Structure 1
């Protein structure tokens, strides 16, 4: 630019060369390029040794759909008589690939979502809980960017329908379309690249007034949103060295972590829209369809009624369920070698129990399904819990747990005059307080002391304690009684008497 500026100022080649500090021929060269409308930075391409082989390189690139490697092309050229370096071949192959891709590049049209129209969902690998891998069901509304993440044990069709129902009830309605990947639970097969829908999925979509559609393979516009939701959820929920999360002990802890994650991401502005997804969801709900009162029950298996013993019978084997579902109708299905028990309530399908396959005569019973007031979570045959039948028994049992333990142990040991001793304990409770008497009764139950004066002796011992410090056996002293007291037996005293 200094050369051209000097030429425009002086109008002569030699004068411009003197001002710019270069040869006048250089000034003439750049002036000629500018007059011809060419860039001064362009250089004419020199002939290269690979020029006779460029047509063959382009043929190989086109035949391989732009996938041929430069080292393979170089070996072919050497066999054809090329004597250049591999670096020259790599540059020529790269230029040919760039030219080929410019004419075969796939063009994507930006997908502009509409409110109330699209819901996307996908699956991601979750953390390991109690030695078992889990899965994360990740869904999001394409317009408001509202996310829902649910943990599951499997990705079967009933689990998918349960997660879909729970998601729709969280967002407060059903959109027009639900877009997902081509899995066997959604797409049975492809015929001429046309996906054939699973009939149960079609029936579930008809139940909610929603059409289930699947993504086009390798289409970032339709798959990008759901895959981004899965990636973000895994980064924040799956323990790794990057996020320093602790492992989840129970499954309920993972479920709570998913709820906390959804509250966090839905309450902060989204990077693309710049608005809070929870606030946009309020606007989008006006475009969503009203959900049916009852969730879809298809593919949840068979129904069973929970008996009075909090069990159900499947194929002649009894399986326990939580006791608060007694006399209710539940759904059971087999998932591999596991029996999954589901209940459908106002919140949608909820898994309440999961058992391994049992055998006849060997019921599958879990202690946590029964009230905790029984030893080990279940009552043994013949066990009785003390319950008052009259005011005197009520006054005794009101002393505390020690009174109930004393009565149980005294009855088992066949103690006599139990009622009079209970009345005595009630009288002691009025004098010494229920706490002290309850402790004394508990001690008596542990020690097996049910005689008439045992309770009074234990109370006295608790109130006054032992006389002096306790005596303990050591290396120099034994607790065995000695014979030192007999040393003066039979000796004569100073008065002459024995």
Structure 2
């Protein structure tokens, strides 16, 4: 019935009579057991990452005669015991409203071959996220992003948790982080405390790590999301703003609430936000001149024309000049120029409003009733006036009045078309407009006459047939 040898049955019966479990089996000695201490040493020294084939080569050199399959089983058992003793167990973190804000950096998309970074902030209790694109991760940029984040949230939390970058932590002494004095001054200005995670331990700030992962998945073009490349930095800013609006208006899986609604409740627990942002790190102040430029080291740099007669901050970062302005939503970068030299101003056309015309040209604008009646004919009339004035045409006003009178007979569309043809062909003489109108009217009645092989406009030689005759002499 058992399908096995009677000795096996006798052994199980003996175990039952002795009160032992039949399932328990005594460990039998294996040839690899004497090499287990070496295997445990190799696994511990590698942190549980050593490969079984590497271990097999080591113990074979020591005299092991078994196969690689036996070594793989032994290494798997040792690794399992090692991981069981090293496994980290976390107590669930239950955040309180108004206490923690976390931020981290993510690699952004390239714009014109230039690298960008994504500032990713996460308010722990309400799960409210803020993503801001930047060109660098310097201390002024960190301060600007932090101020913009706090103003979107509407308050200041008690603690801010981030990574150990040089803008926050200068060095570690006996595993104690030494803060950057400037970031401490920034935290004192806003009334909060800067904390940093354990170095090289991203699990200690998982909230911001997930924010970076989600933001990169939706904003950085990859083969998975099929996003197109960003042509300008403004397009990336618009995409980041749209992304934050979407994730904050979506019901969160953990809290079953929309972060945009939960942050309103958490805002009651936040500290009040200072009316003036921290501007010391933005550089030196400059007044914007009437021509939308500032002067730095004797060189003029342009800024957006909306900032005329206002104050901005300018600083050099490497070979670039960065201009920062403080608006209703906090500080923001408004211009960036390559460092120039005196006598060579750096002007960006995008900082100025579009011009109505080029090279001194102006769009016709009516100042009298007669001019308004003529320009009302259409774009052909405006083109005719511009070209006729440039050609020095005489009696322009008389010809304009004549065109208005002809429009009553031939129609506005026909006269406007004729004026456009006259402007292109340079026909501004008297009666030229009437001839063009007559040609247009005749062209509509039939096909135009075209030269062919059977008909020619060249004069013939028939008049020379009677040359030298009496009739020819009479002629």
TM interval, short-chain normalised: 0.7 to 0.9
The alpha carbon displacement at 1:291 in A equals: 2.1
Query: Alignment partner for residue 469 of structure 1, among 439, 442, 447?
Result: 447
Given that 1:200 and 1:298 are in contact with CA atoms closer than 8 Å, whether structure 2 keeps it comes out as: no
- Map of 2:471 onto structure 1: none
Task: Specify the SS of the correspondent of 1:128.
Answer: coil
- Map of 1:110 onto structure 2: 92
- Map of 1:445 onto structure 2: 423
- Map of 2:470 onto structure 1: none
The alpha carbon displacement at 1:464 in A equals: 5.3
Task: Specify the SS of the correspondent of 1:50.
Answer: helix
Mapping 1:27-426, distance limit 5 Å: 27-34=9-16, 36=18, 38-58=20-40, 70-375=52-357, 379-380=358-359, 382-397=360-375, 399-426=377-404
The alpha carbon displacement at 1:437 in A equals: 4.4
Bigger drift between 463-472 and 127-136 goes to 463-472
CA distance in 2, matches of 1:456, 1:312: 57
> Which deviations, in whole Å up to 9, do the C-alpha atoms of 1:223-276 show, x marking residues without a partner?
211111111121122222222222233333333332332233223332333333
Task: Specify the SS of the correspondent of 1:245.
Answer: coil
Task: Specify the SS of the correspondent of 1:246.
Answer: coil
Task: Specify the SS of the correspondent of 1:445.
Answer: helix
CA distance in 2, matches of 1:341, 1:455: 56
What is the TM-score with the length of structure 1 in the denominator? 0.80
Structure 1 77/370 Cα, relative in aligned 2: closer, same or farther at 3 Å? closer
Runs of 5+ unmatched residues, structure 1: 1-17, 492-496
The alpha carbon displacement at 1:180 in A equals: 1.4
Given that 1:187 and 1:196 are in contact with CA atoms closer than 8 Å, whether structure 2 keeps it comes out as: yes
The alpha carbon displacement at 1:344 in A equals: 1.6
Task: Specify the SS of the correspondent of 1:207.
Answer: helix
Q: Between Structure 1 and Structure 2, how many residues are aligned?
A: 469
Given that 1:126 and 1:136 are in contact with CA atoms closer than 8 Å, whether structure 2 keeps it comes out as: yes
The alpha carbon displacement at 1:46 in A equals: 0.9
> Which deviations, in whole Å up to 9, do the C-alpha atoms of 1:454-493 show, x marking residues without a partner?
334344445554663234567x478x72224x647888xx
CA distance in 1, matches of 2:425, 2:401: 21
What is the TM-score with the length of structure 2 in the denominator? 0.84
Given that 2:107 and 2:118 are in contact with CA atoms closer than 8 Å, whether structure 1 keeps it comes out as: yes
Task: Specify the SS of the correspondent of 1:312.
Answer: strand
CA distance in 2, matches of 1:473, 1:365: 57
Structure 1 199/27 Cα, relative in aligned 2: closer, same or farther at 3 Å? same
The alpha carbon displacement at 1:112 in A equals: 2.2
The alpha carbon displacement at 1:323 in A equals: 3.0
- Map of 1:4 onto structure 2: none
> Which deviations, in whole Å up to 9, do the C-alpha atoms of 1:324-361 show, x marking residues without a partner?
33333333333333333332211222333333333444
Runs of 5+ unmatched residues, structure 2: 467-473
Structure 1 443/158 Cα, relative in aligned 2: closer, same or farther at 3 Å? farther
The alpha carbon displacement at 1:143 in A equals: 1.6
Task: Specify the SS of the correspondent of 1:299.
Answer: helix
CA distance in 2, matches of 1:443, 1:405: 10
The alpha carbon displacement at 1:50 in A equals: 3.1
Given that 2:202 and 2:209 are in contact with CA atoms closer than 8 Å, whether structure 1 keeps it comes out as: no
Structure 1 21/170 Cα, relative in aligned 2: closer, same or farther at 3 Å? same
Bigger drift between 280-289 and 306-315 goes to 306-315
